């Protein structure tokens, strides 16, 4: 994926929001897949990106001079030898034609409002003025001369090419860390959180890339790139860490604290924002923590590669495995071993399970920790008597006697007040008896009736469910098999 592709991936859905005709306040919130026009082969997009890259190179060499379309065509024919001049003309005309973009501006600053001193609007006008509607037509990426047809980049086009080329990379984030020291030297403290967030984005991008490589080792190209740049990554991390540690040490110096206090008073008087020195320290601390995490993941990846464990960390496609077994069954000895491991030890009732096997498996590798955990039971506090134990001890005999007479459903238990004990609310403890019947008696079972209930308690709480559970004694009637008894639970 090229830099232009990444820029388009990041902005395509925003363009869909801009072009959407969805009515505000409409209850229809589901979005269908967008059907885009075009050839769907990337031909015109590739021509446009190649043209913009070439114009940026020429822009630097000629100091923003116009370039003839003949030179552009000669350059593009290096990639498309059969490129027609009309195709280039279409791309130039499209990129040179502006399109209107509608957006909303942020509210003006307090100084601007005080200087203008507008009349006080009513509530509706004030709400609308908070985000004023604006639009611009400065969206043409190429400027074209009407007489000669020569072209060059516009300000928007130069910015687009620059944004596409500025992909976050950790190898160059050490220069961003130096900006923190520059901001401290100039007293521009408000820029420090933004600078640290940029470094965090680069660190998190590489951290996610490492995780994807470990989960899918078939990406050999990315794995080789990580191995080649491993030394550079460690050097960059060390440089960033040293720079940020120096910056955090400066935050505790008396001179900088005095400058920060003066700046904070001016910011509070000007914008009404409250700043604290701990906000800057915590912003730097988050980057230092992310550096430690990334360094540990990088070291673990290298250790896995050295020990040959990286080949066993791929994500298993169980659907593909099942199709393979249907096409070519495994050997009988392997099938017997597999059935022995997957079947339960004691088979009383064989019921089909509808839940798939995939959510039961953990395909990610557990994080390793070298911290030693020490447990000192001598210093543990004496365990307090839990409310559940006291509830079962006091109300358990009466509740068992009640269930012996007739099954007790949850709505009936609430209506009879079994959830009230010692003046406290024991609704959670009562629900535990329906979940774990062993709390009351080992002979109890939970039955489920296909009828819903809706109970409103005295304090206003509402207990409702689509089915009704009930506690009953496990005494199967004559002719009732254990299968039916277990299936009714």
Best CA proximity match to 401, nearest among 445, 448, 440, 442: 440
353 confidence band (pLDDT: 50, 70, 90): low
Per-residue tokens: 312: 């066993």
Within 20-167, where are the H helices? 43-62, 69-76, 85-96, 110-116, 123-129, 155-165
Average pLDDT (351-356) is: 54
Q: How far is CA 300 from CA 228, 290, 437, in A?
A: 16, 15, 46
Helix count (H) and strand count (E) of the chain?
Answer: 19, 11
Average pLDDT (357-361) is: 52
**pLDDT single digits (tens) 33-71:** 777 788 888 889 899 999 998 998 888 778 788 999 999
Give dist(CA 303, CA 368) in Å, integer.
Answer: 13
Residue ranges of the domains in the chain?
1-18+38-102+132-167, 170-312, 388-487
User: pLDDT averaged over the chain?
Assistant: 76
Tokens 């365990």 appear where? 383
Output the pLDDT for position 115.
45
Output the pLDDT for position 344.
61
**pLDDT single digits (tens) 162-196:** 777 655 566 667 778 888 989 898 888 888 988 88
Residues 6 or more apart in contact with residue 361 via CB below 8 angstroms: 316
309 confidence band (pLDDT: 50, 70, 90): low
**pLDDT single digits (tens) 91-129:** 999 999 998 888 887 665 554 454 444 555 554 555 555
């Amino acid at each position: 994926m090229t830099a232009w592709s990444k820029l388009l991936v990041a902005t395509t859905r925003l363009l869909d929001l801009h072009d959407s005709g969805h009515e505000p306040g409409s209850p229809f919130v589901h979005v269908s897949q967008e059907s885009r026009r075009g050839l769907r082969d990337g031909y015109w997009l590739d021509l446009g990106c190649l043209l913009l890259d070439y114009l940026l190179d020429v822009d630097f060499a000629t100091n923003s001079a116009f370039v003839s379309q003949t030179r552009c065509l000669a350059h593009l024919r290096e990639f498309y030898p059969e490129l027609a001049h009309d195709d280039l003309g279409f791309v130039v005309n499209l990129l040179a034609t502006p399109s209107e973009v509608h957006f909303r501006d942020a509210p003006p600053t307090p100084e601007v409002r005080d200087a203008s001193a507008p009349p006080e609007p009513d509530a509706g006008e004030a709400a609308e003025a908070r985000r004023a509607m604006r639009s611009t037509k400065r969206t043409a990426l190429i400027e074209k001369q009407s007489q000669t047809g020569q072209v060059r980049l516009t300000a928007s086009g130069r910015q687009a090419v620059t944004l596409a080329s500025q992909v976050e990379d950790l190898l160059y984030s050490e220069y961003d860390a130096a900006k923190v020291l520059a901001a401290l030297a100039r007293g521009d403290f408000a820029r420090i959180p933004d600078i640290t967030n940029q470094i965090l984005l680069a660190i998190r991008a590489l951290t996610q890339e490492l995780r994807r490589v470990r989960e899918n080792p078939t990406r050999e190209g990315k794995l080789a790139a990580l191995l080649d740049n491993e030394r550079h990554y460690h050097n960059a991390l060390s440089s960033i860490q040293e720079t940020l540690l120096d910056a955090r040490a400066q935050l505790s110096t008396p001179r900088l604290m005095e400058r920060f206090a003066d700046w904070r008073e001016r910011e509070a008087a000007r914008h009404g924002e409250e700043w604290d020195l701990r906000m800057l320290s915590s912003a730097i601390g988050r980057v230092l923590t992310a550096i430690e995490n990334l360094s540990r993941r990088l070291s673990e990846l290298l250790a896995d590669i050295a020990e040959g464990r990286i080949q066993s960390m791929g994500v298993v496609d169980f659907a593909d495995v099942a199709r393979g077994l249907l096409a070519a069954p495994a050997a009988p000895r392997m099938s017997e071993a597999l059935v022995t491991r997957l079947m339960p030890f004691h088979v009383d009732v064989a019921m089909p399970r509808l839940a798939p096997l995939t959510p039961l498996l953990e395909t990610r590798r557990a994080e390793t920790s070298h911290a030693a955990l020490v447990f000192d039971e001598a210093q543990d506090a004496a365990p307090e008597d839990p409310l559940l134990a006291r509830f079962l001890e006091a109300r358990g005999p009466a509740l068992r006697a009640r269930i012996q007479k007739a099954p007790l459903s949850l709505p009936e238990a609430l209506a009879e007040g079994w959830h009230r004990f010692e003046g406290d609310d024991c609704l959670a403890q009562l629900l535990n008896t329906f979940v774990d019947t062993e709390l009351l008696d080992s002979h109890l079972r939970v039955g489920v009736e296909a009828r819903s209930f809706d109970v409103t308690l005295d304090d206003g709480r509402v207990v409702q469910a689509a089915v009704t559970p009930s506690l009953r004694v496990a005494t199967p009637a004559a002719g009732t098999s254990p299968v039916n008894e277990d299936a009714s639970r």
